[in-house]
A and B are shown apart, each in its own frame.
Chain A
Amino acid sequence: MELNEILKKLKNVAPDSDYSRKSKAIILSQRQRQSFSFSIKDIAAGVFRSGWSMALAAVLLLLAIGSFSALKTIISPATTAVVDVAGLRAEAEVIDAQIQLTNINYSSLENKTSTVRMVIRGTKAPVKKADTLSNTSTTDEIIDTALLELSK
């Protein structure tokens, strides 16, 4: 007999029908086991998913921090270029000095007017208060008035 033929003959081997019937009945009477959804594959997928979320959150955080830094570097040169801090300071000092000079002028004028008023008070009607003068007239007008008074 050829080897292939003999192998084909082995296909005739079959289990006992009584055994098969009983075995089948026993097996089908058994309950199936519940499969758990958390297999290693599922856990790996979950970790991968949460990893992605964390990575995305980290990227967004970096972008937010980075944008602040970028804004700082972008905006600062512009402000320094447009706003001349030294110039501003000098201007502020000049303004301050002018205010002080005005005060000095005013004070000296007030002294003068007081003197004039004292002179006038001695001869004529009561003198107006200096502050009322300052409220109504400019410094030049006051000086002109004072000179006029003196010339009389």
Chain B
Amino acid sequence: MASNRPLFISFSMLDGEIKLVENAVRGEASAFGLLYDYYQPKIYRFVLIKVGRREDAEDLTHQVFLNAWQNIKSYKNLGFPFSSWLYRIAKNQIIDRYRTKKIELGLESADAENISDPSSESVEKNLEERMWLEKVVEAIRELKEDYQEVLIMRFIEDLSVKETAAAVNKSEGAVKLMQHRAMKELKKHVKEKHGTK
């Protein structure tokens, strides 16, 4: 008998993700734990690039996964990967945080100390690389929210166009267009403020 499960296979999906999500929906903590291990670094990066401060990123990422776990029974598999649901929660969490706490994040807060991986010696040691990371992150944060999200998902997290479209709630065509414009804008910002290579 043919299964009516949506056949959505992506390289950014976790192996056996559909089964894991089904088990998590049934309340199996270990299944959700595996989903957490796989998606938490991705969501953390997404949040950190957008908010700029490590503490805020940690707090928000925690809230994202807490909300996901508490509300996973309402999750419906509509053919999109689980990550698109998590990205949506993350987006809403960031919006809520900005609205309630009225955080005014200056560009200074997005420094390379916060962005760079503390465990990565290559990043830590290479001063030039750190400087460029800082500049690019600053430039990303100057972009429109939609452009930021598309850039992070497409170029940092390697999500497919379809996955990105599901996460930002836009059509695939719109995502391709946004991706093109976002990249163009990003290059322009980097050139204007920091010179170019």
Is B137 an interface position by the 8 A CB rule? yes
The proximity string for A residues 23-67 relative to B, scoring 1 for CB distances below 8 Å and 0 otherwise, is 110111011111100000000000000000000000000000000
Interchain CB contact under 8 A, B70 and A10: no
**Residue pair A10, B133 in contact (C-beta under 8 Å):** yes
The yes or no answer to B165 lying at the interface (CB within 8 A) is no
Q: How large is the interface on B (under 10, 10 to 19, 20 to 34, 35 or more residues)?
A: 35 or more
Residues of A within 8 A of B33 (CB): 24, 28
Question: In residues 76-108 of chain B, which contact A (Cβ within 8 Å)?
Answer: none
A2 to B58, CA, bound (A): 29
- Taking a contact as CB atoms under 8 Å apart, the answer to whether A3 and B65 are in contact is no
- Are B123 and A28 within 8 A (Cβ)? no
Q: With the chains together, A72 CA to B196 CA distance in Å?
A: 94
Given contacts A1-B197, A19-B58, A26-B62, contact A13 B73 (CB under 8 A): no
**Which A residues are CB-close (under 8 A) to B71?**
32-33, 35
Closest to B187 in A: A3
Whether the pair A2, B73 counts as a contact (CB closer than 8 A) is no
Q: Is A89 an interface residue (CB 8 A)?
A: no
Q: How far is the CA of A30 from the CA of B156 in the complex (A)?
A: 31
Please tell me if A152 contacts chain B, counting CB pairs below 8 Å: no
B155 near A27: Cβ-Cβ < 8 Å: no
A140 contacts partner chain B, Cβ-Cβ < 8 Å? no
Q: Which B residues are CB-close (under 8 A) to A131?
A: none
Q: Could you tell me the distance between the alpha carbons of A3 and B36 in the complex, rounded to whole angstroms?
A: 30
* B4 proximal to A (CB < 8 A): no
A9, A10, A24: most-surrounded residue (chain B CB, <10 A):
A10
With A12-B123, A27-B36, A33-B71 as contacts: A7 and B151 at CB distance below 8 Å: yes
Which B residues touch A26, using CB under 8 A?
Answer: 62, 66
13 A-B pairs, CB-CB below 8 angstroms? Answer: A1-B132, A4-B155, A6-B129, A11-B156, A12-B117, A14-B41, A27-B36, A27-B62, A28-B32, A32-B27, A34-B73, A35-B71, A35-B74
